[in-house]
Amino acid sequence: MSTVLDENLGRILKSALAVEAPPLRAEQMQQILQQAAARRRPADPLPVWVIAALAAGLVAFTLVAWSLPRPLAALKIAAGIALLANLGLSPLAAVVIVRNRRWSYAH
Amino acid sequence: MSLLSAEPELAGRLAQGDPAAWKELCETYGRSLYLYAYHRTGDASAAEDVRQETLLAAVESIAGYRGEGPLFAWLCGIARCKAADELRRRGRQDLPLDAADQETWQQLEREPLPDELVERAETRAALVEALWSLPEDYREALLARYVRGESVTEIAARLGRSYKAAESVLSRAREALLRNLKQEESHREHSSG
A28 contacts in B (CB within 8 Å)? 52, 55
Domain that holds residue A65: 3-106
- Tell me what pLDDT residue A42 has: 60
Q: Do A24 and B30 touch (CB under 8 A)?
A: yes
Of B17, B131, B143, the CB nearest to A36: B17
Q: Which domains does chain B have, with CATH numbers?
A: 1-95 (1.10.1740.10), 100-193 (1.10.10.10)
pLDDT digits (tens, 9 = 90+) for B114-149: 888 888 888 899 999 999 999 989 999 999 999 999
Mean pLDDT of B45-73: 92
pTM score above 0.80: no
The ipTM estimated for the assembled molecules is: 0.81
Window 38-67 of A: residues touching B by CB (8 A cutoff) are 38-41
Number of domains in chain A: 1
Task: Say what the alpha-carbon torsion angle B69, B73, B78, B81 is, to the nearest 10 degrees.
Answer: -120
Q: CB distance B17–A4 less than 8 Å?
A: no
- Mean of the pLDDT values across residues A34-60? 78
Nearest CA among A48, A8, A60, A64 for reference residue B127: A8
Residues in chain B, total: 193
Residue of B nearest to A37 (CA): B17
The residues in A 10-39 lying below 8 A from B, measured between CB atoms, are 10-17, 19, 21-24, 28-29, 31-33, 35-39
The CA-atom distances, in angstroms, between B70 and each of B30, B128, B135 are: 15, 13, 9
* Residue of A35, A79, A17, A24 whose CA lies nearest to B38: A17
- B177 chain-A contacts, CB cut-off 8 A: 9
A4/B111 touch (CB, cutoff 8 Å), yes or no: yes
B19-41 vs B7-15: helix crossing angle, rounded to 10: 100
Using the predicted structure, report yes or no on whether residue B25 has a pLDDT greater than 50: yes
pLDDT of residue B118: 85
CB contact under 8 A, A39 and B146: no
A7 lies within 8 A of chain B by CB: yes
| Of B19, B72, B66, B34, residue with least CA distance to A35 | B19
- 8 Å CB contact between B56 and B10: no
Alpha helices, DSSP H only, in chain B? Answer: 7-15, 19-41, 44-61, 71-89, 100-107, 115-118, 121-132, 136-142, 152-159, 163-191
Q: Cβ of A8 under 8 Å from any chain B Cβ?
A: yes
Rounded CA separation B11/B74 (Å): 11
Amino acid found at B166: A
Please name the amino acid found at residue B110. Answer: R
Q: Which amino acid is at B31?
A: R
DSSP secondary structure letter of residue B49: H
